[in-house]
Amino acid sequence: MASKAAYKRLTKEYVNMQREPPPFVWAAPDEKNILLCAFRPLSALRGPSDSPFAGGEYHGVLQFPSEYPFKPPGIKMLTPSGRFYPDKKICFSMSDFHPGTWNPAWSVSTILTGLLSFMLSDEMTTGSVTSTDGHKRAFAARSHAWNIQQARFREAFPEYCDTNIRDLPNMGERERGPSVAQPQPQAPVFVFSAPTPTAAGDKAAVPTSDATGSATAWTASLGKVLWEKWRWGLLIALAVVVSRFSSS
């Protein structure tokens, strides 16, 4: 059972993750036990083409102790990946294998981002396996099909159980910036909070058309350019007037 401090801390972290999701990872707490968290990192789905995990979807769990955040979680990867043993605890600096190096300031987002970075490295540890890049790519290609057949994945991520793999809220565009040569499709928007009731008689917002939006943006840009162009002229003229008054 979660302590009051653990419950409060984890609740806050999940809310923060929804507001500012880290790139390529997502997590959902168990509805019955907040100390059990399912995570779904995608290893560079649109990342470097030389990554053997590109296009893969990897499901795992974080098992937090009741003393969290003062003690680290246990971490398991469930999806076969060619990098970690399925359903075996993984040893790395943010897991319960290393309580001495644990930092209570770390969060769910920090842990998953660190795990993703560790997964992309070649460092061997308890819970890791050795395989070729070809094997890793083969696992990545069939990872989503494997996941949606698992009851634990379907229960934790029902919105991601379509036949085709779906993007996470943050697919890394914020960190990399948009691609000019090959523009990426926008990631889907997920709304997690309930809609705020409107007062009686309030009118629904009417979406602005693309043409109106473009005209508004163009007008704003033109005004900004004119202001930048004439601002210094106005300042110089004002300085001349002040100088003349001072001289007289």
Instruction: Kindly list the catalytic residues.
Output: 91
Spatial distance between the Cα atoms of 42 and 46, rounded to a whole number of angstroms: 9
Q: How far is CA 179 from CA 102, 170, 216, in A?
A: 37, 15, 25
- Alpha-carbon gap, residue 171 to 160, rounded angstroms: 15
Token code pair at residue 4: 């009051």
Contact predicate 111/14, CB 8 Å:
no
- Distances, alpha carbon 153 to alpha carbons 26, 64, 73, 101, in Å: 13, 19, 20, 30
Given a contact cutoff of 8 angstroms between Cβ atoms, the answer to whether 96 and 127 are in contact is no
